[in-house]
A = this chain, B = another copy of it.
Amino acid sequence: MRRPGRRPRAAHPDRRVSVAAVDLDVAALHPAVDDPALNSMNFLNEVAQQYPDAVSFAAGRPYEEFFSVDAVHRHLETFRRHLADDLGQSPDQIRRTLLQYGRTKGIVHHLIARHLVVDERLTVDPESIVVTVGCQEAMFLVLRALRAGPRDVLLAVTPTYVGLTGAARLVDLPVWPVTDGPAGIDLTDLRDQLRRARAEGLRPRACYLMPDFANPSGVSMDLDRRRRLLDLAAEEELLLIEDNPYGLFPAGDADRLPTLKALDTRRRVIYLGSFAKTVLPGARVGYVVADQRVAGSDGGVGPLADQLAKIKSMVTVNTSPIAQAVIGGALLAHDCSLVAANRRERAAYARNLRHLVDGLARRFPAGGPVRWNVPAGGFFVVVTVPFGVDDALLHRSAREHGVLWTPMAHFYADGAPVPALRLSVSAVTPAQIDLGLDRLAALLTAELAARAAPA
């Protein structure tokens, strides 16, 4: 019997206990739990915890200087007033909307639709939106719906976001890589891979990509390539999964490009949205726009969103209406414009990106062995070096130089060392960037020297 006062068994100070005390072997669990994609985030978090004083170019979390717990209370009240004044709900109805079980597809879909009109010039039927527990659940629901059998595969621009790879593993959906380039997805390779997969008897269900300031590459697609990609998707009857967490953070003054979804006249695009970077990660609210028409077995036709909602009802039931109210209130506070809501944040990220790129140029000579791209916005810069970058180097960087970053190998399926690393500018100050780049320069200089020295 386990009673208070007795020491709980699992609190044993040595977690490596004898084999006799083992209840399960990891091999008896779904293979995803032992997959590099799922272990990658854990590994990176562990390194970060081990070196709390290191400068972190690894964290992709948003800048938190402007966060405020008081704003959470304010947003809740703003949304409560909206339910009363704009939607005419009685106090009892408001209590039910905010605190009971509720609509599977969510309660801020109308505000999200308004935001998409205001900020993206994109008109969608609110009924085609499912509000999800962060963008990660949106991704998971889409992949779960699309993976119908063992012949199904998902194309994805590579390097790719590790959350996508992990969600695909959980539904046993192989990820088939498509080449990325300095201007985004390689359309020739996309068509080649599509045909190769089909020739092998496989069924490519969709192609995943991040057209704006991609994670991890920082790359954006130009307008012409967006149009050509949509044409290709229509010709090949391929769905596109557009993930857009960073689109509102261009670094320059040029107009933002339209999203694929805003250009999509043929319902080829499933659009994934996030409020983690534009409002708060702690609300865990994202969404998916899935307006594809699905014919049901009863002959009725409805949006793909309705099918995703059925899956959601068995994963999380519905997204916390309290969390949705926080996001709804934040949207209402700025007439549903997240561009307006994020002026300070956008300026901070743009400043950091410039500061990082300028700092790299001051520390590494042009034409030298260390190179980097100059993204037009977002959180990420990729630095290329003339040697493979692995986890051991990251450990050495943290231990000996006090600077963290992410090996690009984590964003490839096989995990083999890649001669590149990702720097994130989202969670650092300009002073930390200076310090971090000094430390990074010391690391890379030492590595280059060690490799140049006779063996």
List residues of chain A with CB under 8 Å of any chain B CB: 1-6, 8-11, 15-17, 19, 21-34, 37-39, 41-42, 61-62, 64, 67-69, 72-73, 76, 80, 94-96, 98-102, 117, 121-125, 127-128, 133-134, 136-137, 140, 144-148, 163, 166-167, 169-171, 261-265, 267, 276, 280-285, 291-297, 299-304, 307, 310-311, 313-323, 326
Contact = CB atoms under 8 A, between A and B. Distances in A.
B136 A317 contact: yes
A376 to B, nearest CB: 23
A280 to B, nearest CB: 5
B284 A318 contact: yes
Nearest to A92: B64
Given A128-B10, A293-B17, A284 B117 contact: no
Nearest to A281: B101
Contact of A282 (B15, B140, B321): B321
A53 to B, nearest CB: 15
Count the copies: 2
A266 B349 CA distance: 52
A42 to B, nearest CB: 7
A11 B129 CA distance: 12
Contact of A169 (B263, B295, B314): B314
A26 B307 contact: yes
A30 to B, nearest CB: 5
Given A3-B121, A123-B4, A148-B31, A15 B300 contact: yes
A315 B93 CA distance: 31
A140 B292 CA distance: 27
A76 B67 contact: no
Contacts of A121: 3-4
A319 B317 CA distance: 13
Contacts of A4: 117, 121, 123
Contacts of A11: 125, 127
B264 A294 contact: no
A359 to B, nearest CB: 25
Nearest to A61: B101
15 contacts: A4-B121, A10-B125, A11-B127, A17-B301, A21-B301, A22-B301, A26-B294, A32-B314, A98-B282, A101-B276, A133-B284, A136-B314, A166-B313, A166-B314, A284-B320
Given A10-B125, A282-B320, A320-B282, A21 B293 contact: yes
A171 B32 CA distance: 12
A297 B27 contact: yes
B64 A99 contact: yes
Given A3-B121, A38-B310, 15 more contacts: A2-B122, A2-B262, A8-B125, A10-B303, A17-B301, A26-B295, A28-B148, A33-B311, A38-B314, A72-B322, A99-B281, A163-B314, A166-B314, A280-B322, A322-B322
Contact of A26 (B3, B68, B296): B296
A134 B318 CA distance: 9
Contact of A315 (B22, B167, B262): B167
A149 to B, nearest CB: 9
A293 B22 contact: yes
A9 B99 contact: no
B291 A10 contact: yes
B262 A301 contact: no
Given A140-B315, A148-B28, A315-B315, A22 B295 contact: yes
A99 B70 CA distance: 11
Nearest 8 interchain pairs by C-beta: A10-B125, A166-B314, A284-B320, A99-B282, A23-B292, A133-B316, A8-B125, A101-B281
